[in-house]
Structure formats: structure tokens, C-alpha cells
Amino acid sequence: MRKVRVNQIGYKTAAEKYAVFADLDEDDRTFTVVEAETDKTVFEGTITKAKPYKVSGEYNSAGFFTEVTCPGKYKIVTAKGEESYVFEIGDKIYDKTLINVFRVLYLQRCGIKLPEAYAKEFAHEACHNSPARIYGTDEKLDVNGGWHDAGDYGRYIVSGAKAVMDLFIAYEANPALFNDAMNIPESGNGVPDILDEARYELEWMFKMQDSKTGGVYHKVTGERFPGFVMPQHETWEMVVSPVSNTATADFAAIMALSSTVYKDIDTGFANKCLGAAKKAFDYVVKHQDAPGFKNPDGIVTGEYPDDNCFDEIMWAAVELYKVTEDESYADVILSAYEKVTKWTILGWDDVGGYAAYSALTSDLLKKNHLDFWTRLKSDFINQVDDMVDEAKANPYFISRTDTFEWGSNMSIADNGMILWMANKISPNQDYVIYMKYNLDYIFGINAVDYCFVTGEGSNSPVHPHHRPSAALGKPMPGMLVGGPDNGLHDETAARLLADKAPAACYIDHLDSYSTNEICVYWNSPLIALLAMC
Ligand code: G3I
Ligand code: 9MR
Ligand code: ZN
């Protein structure tokens, strides 16, 4: 592992540029930026005083070289000869990465054949397309479509809603980046590919709504996880798990917003989204006290449990209020708000960040409920400022204090999104600067010296916990792995990482699903962050 950590893909010309150093000799105090091909020095800089950091288990210091703006390939070399990987400076350096990271969603599509023309070596026959059985009954339901969630082939509503929302926010942040030529079958149809891809998931979500009650089934999976086979070879019965309040509320939120996003693209589709959203919302307000989802007997696939559905309900009420301008939704927003505490989280379980962002960008809410709007704004901004303070105190400039959880890379990408949102709501240069540091962390400035996206940078995962990659013996490009998890939630992590500091609890091992799996909703905030940086 190198002692000099850089963004292995590189830095845009106008961006803040820095390296983080680990365990340098005490007298190694300066560094140079040299041209990779000629070894010519273009910049000399000093290294901050090293401090012990128990979360990384290292003595960390940093060096800035923002002044280097000339496009090219470089490396960092310290006075005593420690070298970084080669990285690039330029304004187009993330273009290929973005396409790859985005196209993973296409490659995760379920229910259709992925032809070689689009999927290359990850092409496969249609999968999971016979009707599924509704748990506890003999009733069959057509729930074909949607994205495989992750390294497994389950399809889950709460995680899908997060992924779609991130795509909408990515598109909002930088529409020019997402054209109609991103190499998916819908390319060239006149609709930005990112909205085509999101719609693939939405079309599946419709099928997951119970037409009688409006409630939304939590997930469709086998009874257990399959082996490392291609998706068309998981042929056992698919089971639709029961309706949950969190799935139903997330569905209502994303469908309500979709009715606006697709309004000028396809009015019929937009109306269908709104109708489905209202029906789901009515169901969930009636069932808001129901216990959160638990795997029913005999089903052991991903659970996505969540006992508090008020953040989801608030998010749904905000989106419905924005489209319908109906004050009855505002009543629900105000009452749900009292039961939510976290406003800087964009998870599959806590969606308070989406609720806050959508509410704080509503002129109508501001006009009609100014006191509430002002209170929410200060809750949100106070929590964002705490995040920035944490990042300022952290040697890797990320908002972390002591632990790393399953999917920590998602939280780090999410934090970048939150800072973008905060800057829109209450402009502040610190938010913009610290937003980008999250991207630098993901691309290499971290305690394990990995660029956490398969196929990108100089040192990236090659054994992701991802069934198609394992079945074919090659990592699908563009996937963000989960990253450090000091909970050591799988046997391999427990065996190989027991003595590691929290930030170093990562292993590029096929069996380490708690550190090295991939998910559509881990790629999605990275797509958004790339659109923002
Ligand atoms: O909520 C607590 C928090 O209070 C605490 O501070 C933190 C410290 O570790 O833990 C938090 O709980 C964690 C929870 O996620 C919420 O972030 C649990 O420890 C952690 O085990 C749990 O991990 C989830 C994992 O499933 C197991 O349930 C991941 O977020 C989630 O991404 C992952 O999802 C799986 C699906 O089930 C199946 N498909 C693959 C997917 C990715 O591995
Ligand atoms: O492959 C599964 C992965 O997608 C899940 O995120 C993970 C946690 O639910 O479980 C994985 O499956 C493992 C199972 O939990 C335990 N036996 C080994 C399975 C595959 O390695
Ligand atoms: Zn499938």
C-alpha cells in the first residue's frame, strides 16, 4: 500500500488538489508534483504535521497542490522518495467513469435479454421472468423488470426508490451531462438516457403495487440467495414479500416526483405515476402505525428493515404537495416532521435528507408555511454545518468520527450530495469544497489506498461480491463497492480484518459481502456526485 494517497483518476483543473500521507518518516516534510512522463518537477509543496488518527490506525498528514492546473499526467513524490500512483489533471477526466458507473444500472436490468451490442461480455438471456408467487398464497403476480439490487438478484422497493431519486437529482444538478447517447437501447429516442434508465425501474415498481389496496410489496426475491450463477440460471420460484409501510411511502414519494419529471416527456405516464402515488399515500397514512417490515418465515434474502416510516411519509407528502398544491398534504408534512430527527441522511432506511431537500426547494411551502419552512431550514443547515465541522477535523476531510458501516462508501457519496443540496439552499463555499473531498475519498484518498470503483484508477477491486462478475470471472466495470465496515459482518471480514482500524476494514475478496458487494443505490449517489463536482 502506498503512503501517498491521491485521487487515482485525477483532479479537474480548477479543483482543490491534495494528497493525504500515511505514516511518513518524521523528517519527510516536503513533496513535489512531477510530470509522469518526463519526471520534470512542476510544483513543490510542504506537508502538514502528522497526527495520529485512531480511526485509520495511521499518522496522517496532507499536502495541497491546487496551483497545478496544466492538464497532464502527474505523480507526487516526497522528499524521501515515497510516490503516489499516476493521476491526471484535466476537465474531461471523469467522462468515461461517469458512463461506466451509469451503465451498471443498465447491466443490472432484470427480466430482459441483455444483448452483446450493449452488454458486451455481460450479455445474458432474459432472467426472472416467470410470474412470482405472493407470499403465503398460491396467487401469481407478474413483477418482471426493474434492476437487480446488488451482488444478489433481489428487487427491493426501498433501495430502488433511493436509486431513482439519486438519478433525478443527478439530472437536476447537471442536465447537460446526461445526453441521449450513453449507450443503452433507448439511446437516440429523444429522451435523456438517465430518465429512460430510471423509468425502467419505475415500470417495475408499478407492478409491485397491490391494485386492490394501493399498498406496495416490499420486495421480490427467491427464498434464499442463489450461488454465484448468471441471473438466467437462478430459476427457482420468485416470491413477493408482504406489503410494507416504508416501501409504500417511498413508492408514493418517487411516483409523485416522477409525475413532474416526465410531464413534458410522456403525459400519460406522468398521470399514471401521480395516480399510483396518491393511492399508495392513502394506504400508508392509514397504516403508519404498522410494524416495520421483517422477513417472513422462510425468506432469508435482504430485509431492509425500518421501524420508523415517518421520514418516508414526510417525503411522500412533500412530493405530493408540490405536484397537487393540496393543503391536506401539508398537514401530513407538519405532523410527520415532528417524528423525524435526521435531515442529512439519504439512505434506504432514513430518507430525511430527501424530504428536507424537496421541502426546502418548494416555493409554495415557503409561502404558505413560512414558520415551518424556516425551522426545517435551520434544522437542516445546522446538521450540515456539523458535518462540515467533522470533515474539517478529519485527516481525510470526510464527515466521519469513529465508525464505518456496511455501505460506508454510499454514505460518503451521499454526504457529497447533501453538501450540494445545502449549497443550493444556503450558498456557502465550504459546502462546495467539502462536497468534492467525498469524491476524492472514493477515488483513492482513503485508508486502504483503493479507488473503490471497479476498473477505474490504478488500484481498484477485482473480486467484487457480484454474481455476474463471479460467474464470468471478471469484474463488471464501473461498480462502487461497499467499502470499509468495521462491524465485520461476514466471516471473511471477521477472519481477515479483526486487527484493523475502522477505516481499514475493507478487503477485496469475493466472499466479503459486507465490504466488497456492490449495489445500484451505491452507484446512484456516485452518479449524482460526478454530476455535481
Ligand atoms: O442503524 C445503525 C446505526 O445506528 C449504527 O450507528 C450503525 C453502526 O454500524 O449501524 C447501523 O445499522 C446498520 C444498517 O445497515 C443501517 O446502515 C447495520 O449495522 C448494517 O448491518 C446494515 O447493513 C445493511 C445490510 O444490508 C444488512 O442488513 C446495509 O445497509 C444494506 O445496504 C445491505 O443491503 C443488502 C441487501 O440486504 C441485499 N442486497 C445486497 C445489499 C448490499 O449488501
Ligand atoms: O450474496 C448475499 C449478498 O447479496 C447479501 O448482501 C448478503 C447479506 O444479506 O448475503 C449474501 O449471501 C450470503 C449469505 O448471507 C450467507 N451465506 C453466503 C452467501 C453468499 O456468500
Ligand atoms: Zn433477473
Q: What is the pLDDT of residues 353-402, one digit of tens each?
A: 999 999 999 999 999 999 999 999 999 999 999 999 999 999 999 999 99
Share above pLDDT 90 across residues of the chain, in percent, rounded to a whole number? 100
Rounded Cα distance, 417 and 387, in Å: 12
User: What average pLDDT does the segment 428-440 reach?
Assistant: 98
pLDDT at residue number 507:
98
pLDDT digits (tens, 9 = 90+) for 154-206: 999 999 999 999 999 999 999 999 999 999 999 999 999 999 999 999 999 99
The 3-state DSSP class for residue 24 equals: coil
pLDDT at residue number 433:
97
Is residue 303 lining ligand 2, measured as CB closer than 6 Å?
no
What average pLDDT is seen over the chain? 98
Report how far ligand 1's centroid is from the alpha carbon of 406 (Å): 5
Neighbouring CB atoms inside 10 A of 283's CB total 22
With the most atoms of ligand 1 within 8 angstroms of its CB, the residue from 155, 405, 481, 485 to mutate is 405
Residues annotated as part of the active site: 152, 465, 508, 517
User: What average pLDDT does the segment 399-414 reach?
Assistant: 97
Tell me the DSSP string of 392-409.
HHSTT-SS-SS---TTHH
With the most atoms of ligand 2 within 8 angstroms of its CB, the residue from 513, 517, 520, 522 to mutate is 513
Share above pLDDT 70 across residues of the chain, in percent, rounded to a whole number? 100
pLDDT at residue number 177:
96
pLDDT at residue number 342:
97
User: What average pLDDT does the segment 48-57 reach?
Assistant: 95
pLDDT digits (tens, 9 = 90+) for 495-515: 999 999 999 999 999 999 999
Assigned C-alpha cell, 276: 399510483
pLDDT at residue number 241:
98
pLDDT at residue number 343:
98
pLDDT at residue number 4:
98
DSSP 239: E
Assigned C-alpha cell, 233: 440460471
Ligand 1: which residues within 6 Å by Cβ?
Answer: 149-150, 152, 154, 302-304, 349, 403, 405-407, 487, 489, 513, 517, 519
Q: Kindly indicate the confidence band of residue 253, based on its pLDDT and cuts at 50, 70 and 90.
A: very high
Point out the ligand 1 atom lying closest to the alpha carbon of residue 150: 40
Contact 205/257 with Cβ under 8 angstroms?
A: no
DSSP H or E stretch at residue 177: none
Report helix, strand and coil shares of the chain as percent, to nearest 5. 40, 15, 45
Measured CA to CA in angstroms, residue 311 lies from 102, 216, 334 at distances of: 28, 17, 11
Of 399, 280, 401, 394, the residue nearest 345 (C-alpha) = 399
The 3-state DSSP class for residue 160 equals: helix
Report how far ligand 3's centroid is from the alpha carbon of 412 (Å): 29
Contact 184/103 with Cβ under 8 angstroms?
A: yes
Is residue 490 lining ligand 2, measured as CB closer than 6 Å?
no
Rounded Cα distance, 195 and 16, in Å: 31
pLDDT digits (tens, 9 = 90+) for 101-117: 999 999 999 999 999 99
Point out the ligand 1 atom lying closest to the alpha carbon of residue 149: 39
pLDDT at residue number 290:
96
pLDDT at residue number 7:
98
pLDDT digits (tens, 9 = 90+) for 194-233: 999 999 999 999 999 999 999 999 999 999 999 999 999 9
